[in-house]
Amino acid sequence: MEECRKTFIERHDWIRRALMLEPRGHSHMSGTLLYPPLSSDADMSLLFIETSGCLPMCGHASIGSVSFAIEAGLVRPKTTGTVLVDVPAGRLKAHYEMDGARVASVRFTNVPSFLLHRDVEVVHPHFGRLTVDIAYGGNFYPIVEVQSNFPGCENFSPQQLLEWGRQMHCVVNAAIDVVHPENPSIYGVRHTMWTGAPVSHDADARAVVIAGDSLVDRSPCGTGTSARVAQRHARDMLQKGQAFRHQSLIGSCFVGRVEETTTLKSGLPAILPSVEGRAWITGRSEHYVDESQPYAHGFALSEFSA
């Protein structure tokens, strides 16, 4: 699927722009393209698209896509209750439970996730000196824990965190090389995780994830949850099999766990995390692309100056 991602970006990125950007989408839009299985033992393949580009992996989109594919009858898994999904970042194994005709939950085992750099010191334009961990869970994240110069995400508005997240991407990319040790096509920071205290007693932690230049994640973020599980395990804060209830900006939760420990070919310790959540089908829509329209392939306000 990584080759499919590259080909899509080179030849068909207009589809992503047309669907994700205005006037059909909006600045926080994300989606998936469902492909037939590209390997003999897989059940389906997914390509992840959003306003910022075509991602290697997206957790909440995986949960939503598996739920929709099962409920709509688009996929007939070889093994009932399990869907094997090829994505650009690797192979996902998704377990689902049914409640009648509805998918009640999806738990996917993600790609190997790891803490790449710990205790990286950066100077942020707003906060000044911050210490962050750089972790990978399908995408790279600088994880900003509560510290003297950052009192927690609950003290700021989503718009503030969005602006400061964009700045964090630039600061981290300028300060340190962030490259996947086994896949050099996955590199750089395009996401930031601002952490804070949970808003309910049934959660262990909370995070607001900023993706690209314009997206504030409403979900707890599947790849972000995987990255944080990897970070906490590397720091001996989370044990194998222990549930980590990760809360989003709006209070929704994913449950992350360390399923297995492993080692990358480079020798870097890693884990296989699982993320569990639920999705609901809210509607269907049909879009048209008229090449005579000035903005047929979509537009973003950031592309224009007043």
Looking at 4, 54, 153, 221, which residue is catalytic? 221
Has 221 been annotated as catalytic? yes
188: left (phi over 0), alpha (psi -120 to 50) or beta: left
3-state SS assignment for residue 120: strand
Look at the chain and count its residues. 306
3-state SS assignment for residue 146: coil
What's 180's DSSP letter? Answer: -
> How many other CB atoms sit within 10 Å of the CB of residue 169?
20
- Which residue blocks in the chain are alpha helix, DSSP H? 2-11, 13-20, 59-71, 158-175, 222-234
Dump strand ranges (E) for 88-243: 90-99, 102-109, 114-124, 128-136, 140-144, 191-196, 205-211, 215-216
In order of 165, 167, 177, 241, the CA distances from 180 in angstroms are 21, 22, 10, 25
CA distance 7 to 1: 10
Angle at 183 between CA 180 and CA 185, to 5 degrees: 95
What's 283's DSSP letter? Answer: -
Confirm if 85 and 41 have CB atoms less than 8 A apart. Answer: no
Helices 222-234, 59-71: inter-axial angle, 10-degree rounding: 130
Helices 13-20, 2-11: inter-axial angle, 10-degree rounding: 80
Looking at 4, 58, 153, 253, which residue is catalytic? 58
- Residues with catalytic function: 58, 221
